[in-house]
Amino acid sequence: MLKRALYITTALRLSVKNNQLIIESKDKPEAMNSVPIEDIGYVIVENQQTTFTIPALNSLSENNVAVVFCGKNMMPCSMLLNLDSCTIQGERYRQQISATDTLKKYLWQQIIESKIKNQSNLLAKLGLDGDKLKPLYKNVKRGDADNREGVAAKIYWGELFGKGFYRYREGPPPNSLLNYGYSILRGAVARGLMGSGLFPAFGIFHRNRNNAFPLADDMMEPFRPYIDEVVYYLHNEGVDALNKDVKQHIVKTLFCDTKYERVTRPMDIGITYSCASLAKCFSGELKHLKFPILI
């Protein structure tokens, strides 16, 4: 079922009653709304005065809702995840831990192939030269041993935003829009991993000691071009600053159509499908990850 995203920018009090998330305005106590918790996939909390009851947080966690908290800079900084969202979670963890380096290199090869292919497809979709990337995604080695990802990135960003653009977190626009979009995408992927019984801290390629969600960073790679597409159009319209409307527009990307081999799914559901395929690769049920093809 397609889930809803709640974006909180005003001071609210959230509680739970009869499996409904009760939303009350602190400024207008008489203004009260409710949403079935089973319909919610994401809660993005930007207002620093918003409060939750413990039962509300527990109910959201039990329903595998990704609750993303923003810091004083209004950028996502932490999230709430369910530690018991799958009936065979312990088995999934053991399979992750016992995964061989050979398997991880094979999985990373597939991830990078899919990422670069989607980057190529996006450039072609925008009328840019996506053919430059074709030789790169067709010859990725196990573990991306010769760093085709890095080579492709240099070409990709130059085509997408111009030769003078450099992608880094503290860089000039539209880096801030990309940062926000990737943070929301990362939360969505972490939610999908937990729902599949996988632990986001056990990465395939990413393994920085300060990174709590390296597996989410691994699995989000092929989905990044969907965020890039939205940011490309915003940037071309002269929008380079984050505000409420821009953030909500970027969040809606989670529900755009993503085309898989035989079916089209909203990204929210597609992410879960991709994460489930990873769990099956760890268990030996599948050999190939399932990722969308950007068209």
Which residue, among 85, 80, 91, has the nearest Cα to 194 in the 3D structure? 85
Six-digit token pair at 239? Answer: 């929008």
Q: List, in order, residues 6 or more apart from 65 with CB less than 8 Å away.
A: 37, 40, 41, 42, 43, 80, 191
Q: Within the chain, which residues score under 50 in pLDDT?
A: none
Tell me the residue type at 73. Answer: N
pLDDT one-digit tens code per residue, 115-153:
999 999 999 999 999 999 999 999 899 999 999 999 999
Q: Which domains does the chain have, with CATH numbers?
A: 4-80 (3.100.10.20), 89-283 (1.20.120.920)
Rounded CA separation 96/280 (Å) = 11
Rounded CA separation 268/265 (Å) = 8
